[in-house]
Amino acid sequence: MSSEFRYLPSVDRVLSDGRIKQLEETYPFTLLVNLVRQCLEGARLSIAAGNPCPSLNEIVDSVSAQICALENPSLRPVINATGVLLHTNMGRAPLSKESIVAMNAVAKDYCNLEYDLNRGTRGSRHIHIEPVLCQLTGAEAALVVNNNASAVLLGLTALAKRREVIVSRGQAVEIGGGFRIPDIMRQSGAKLIEVGTTNCTYTADYEQAISPRTAVLMHVHSSNFRLMGFTHEVTLEELVVLSKRNNLLAFDDLGSGCFLDTTTFKLEPEPMVQQSIATGTGLVFFSGDKLVGGPQAGIIVGEKQLVDKLKKHPLARAARIDKIRLAGLIATLIHYLKDEAVIKIPIWRMISTPLEEIDQRARLWAQALSGLAQVTEGETMIGGGSLPGSTLPTRLVTISGESERKDRNMAQTLSRRLQCQEIPVIGRISGNVLLLDPRSVLPEEDEAVLHALWNLAAGWKRS
């Protein structure tokens, strides 16, 4: 093993290689030195593990590959044909054209983010979006921060720190990435009091838990799961009445948040922000990048005296939204004010697309595969922790290849080939079949999908 270490070239030896010298014409010398040192350190660890010393060519190739990776960021657009509309791993809600234009406008130039054009003095970024949110929801005031988790954290830190927050045990949910609502709530410094059982919580459970240290009665919408069978929960209306009777605050964490009646699209009912405000809830928290259809944001609406306290809290600055997402969210919300959300916001366009149109697009996709696929019935999921168990009918392009060439890894092979296209197309695998769902793909992306499918068919027949 020790002899292998002797073959490892020095930093100067690698830097003197002609290929590295060429890179010096484009990249700073200090960057190249750092990359060479990192590669050599990796080689030492590999040798220590019992592997042979890499050659000079391999080390130079490794440095070149790292340069290429740095110059070509891994974050890139993909086409989501998985049939999950709000796919968290793919950035959740795609944005409307108007939202993208608004974001580009403030990104390329200075803007009056915190400058009052009428007075010529410093202003507040909240004034640009607060009137729109108040008009939409009926709330007295509004505030937007980085995401919904930070919105809840801000609300509880500012108004319930070192006091008690009562929540139903059945609503102590876990959200994506292993993050749990109770853990986030505890970070606020509030003491979480869970009442009831997993399946049944009653008003009496809250009443018995109220103490002189209680500050908030918390309602958390179970947006990413559904309990069935013998269940009972306290409605938001009942919780608000109880809070007022005991001079306490009532908070409602809606998770996804929604402005439209989902039942009109033959989906399960999703609580609407306007309804929560109408019940008299003190503060309502929800996301901007799920069913709202905008960029990532945490939205807080409710009573003015409460929102004003949140605005003044130091955590509000730490969690504040930037100018680019703020512009995109405002443009998204304006679609609702103009009653054009269904035709402008991509997530609602996908939800409302007639099945006949989905069928036509699916058959066009299948034709591009020259007999390698067929169209079958299927279901599209909403995703993003929204409307659990609620699906939309769709048509799936099922790609299984030629029957005589089937093998255990065929679906994975087909999937990888689609993901290697200029614009990667991501489907889902069921058994040994690759499925593509047009409902989660906007019609304007069809040309790119067809190009990828033509390439797949041509490559499959040559192999």
Strands 249-255 and 428-430, bridge-based pairing: unpaired
Q: Is residue 406 very low, low, confident or very high in pLDDT (cuts 50, 70, 90)? A: low
Q: What size, in residues, is the chain?
A: 463
Nearest to 436 by CA among 356, 368, 348, 388: 368
Closest CA to 412 of 396, 399, 394: 399
* 171 vs 81, higher pLDDT: 81
User: Which residues in the chain are classed under CATH 3.90.1150.180?
Assistant: 79-86+350-462
Least confident of 131-145, 235-249, 349-363, 390-404: 390-404
Query: What is 94-344's CATH number, 3.40.50.850, 3.40.640.10, 3.40.109.10, 1.10.150.20?
Result: 3.40.640.10
Confidence band for 222, pLDDT divided at 50, 70 and 90: confident
**Measured between alpha carbons, how far is 440 from 307 in angstroms, rounded to an integer?**
36
Q: Is the pLDDT of residue 403 over 60?
A: no
User: 424 phi and psi, to 5 degrees?
Assistant: -60, 135
Mean pLDDT rounded to a whole number for the chain: 90
Compare 200 and 99 and report the one with higher pLDDT.
99
CATH fold for domain 79-86+350-462: Aspartate Aminotransferase, domain 1 (3.90.1150)
**Backbone CA torsion sign across 183, 184, 188, 191:** negative
Instruction: Report yes or no: 429 and 82 within 8 Å, Cβ to Cβ.
Output: no
Residue 377, C-beta contacts closer than 8 angstroms, at least 6 positions apart: 393, 394, 395, 396
| 299-to-1, 44, 124 alpha-carbon distances in Å | 59, 50, 16
Mean pLDDT over 56-77 rounds to: 90
Question: What pLDDT score does 4 carry?
Answer: 86
**Hey, how many other C-beta atoms are within 10 angstroms of the C-beta on 422?**
8
Q: What is the per-residue pLDDT for 176?
A: 55
**Cβ–Cβ under 8 Å, residues 301 and 314:** no
Asked if 239 and 219 touch (Cβ cutoff 8 Å), the reply is: yes
Residues carrying CATH 3.40.640.10, the chain:
94-344
Least confident of 157-171, 247-261, 326-340: 157-171
Residue 101's pLDDT band, with cuts at 50, 70 and 90, is very high
Average pLDDT estimate for 162-191: 76
State the SS3 of the chain: CHHHHHCCCCHHHHHCCHHHHHHCCCCCHHHHHHHHHHHHHHHHHHHHCCCCCCCHHHHHHHHHHHHHHHHCCCCCCCEECCCEEECHHHCCCCCCHHHHHHHHHHHHCCCCCCEECCCCEECCHHHHCHHHHHHHHCCCEEEEECCHHHHHHHHHHHHHCCCEEEEEHHHCCECHHHCEHHHHHHCCCCEEEEECCCCECCHHHHHHHCCCCEEEEEEECCCCCCCCCCCECCCHHHHHHHHHHCCCEEEEEEECCCCCCHHHHCCCCCCCHHHHHHCCCCEEEEECCCCCCCCCCEEEEECHHHHHHHHHCHHHHHCECCHHHHHHHHHHHHHHHCCCHHHHCHHHHHHHCCHHHHHHHHHHHHHHCCCCEEEEEEEEEEECCEEEEEEEEEEEEEECCCHHHCCCCHHHHHHHHHHCCCCCEECEEECCEEEECHHHCCHHHHHHHHHHHHHHHHHHHHC
The pLDDT score that the predictor gives to residue 447 is 96
Percent of the chain with pLDDT over 70: 93
Q: Does residue 453 carry a pLDDT above 90? A: yes
Q: Which of 27, 30, 29 is nearest to 68 (CA)?
A: 27
In angstroms, the CA 144 to CA 369 distance is 46
What integer is the mean pLDDT of 3-28? 91
User: What is residue 174's predicted lDDT score, i.e. its pLDDT?
Assistant: 61
pLDDT at 184: 75
Contacts of 457 (CB under 8 A, 6+ apart): 368, 369, 370, 372
| pLDDT for res 404 | 44
Pick 161 or 187 by higher pLDDT.
161
pLDDT, tens only, 111-162:
999 999 999 999 999 999 999 999 999 999 999 999 998 999 999 999 999 9
Residue 248, both tokens: 């306490």
> Tens of pLDDT along 289-346?
999 999 999 999 999 999 999 999 999 999 999 999 999 999 999 999 999 999 999 9
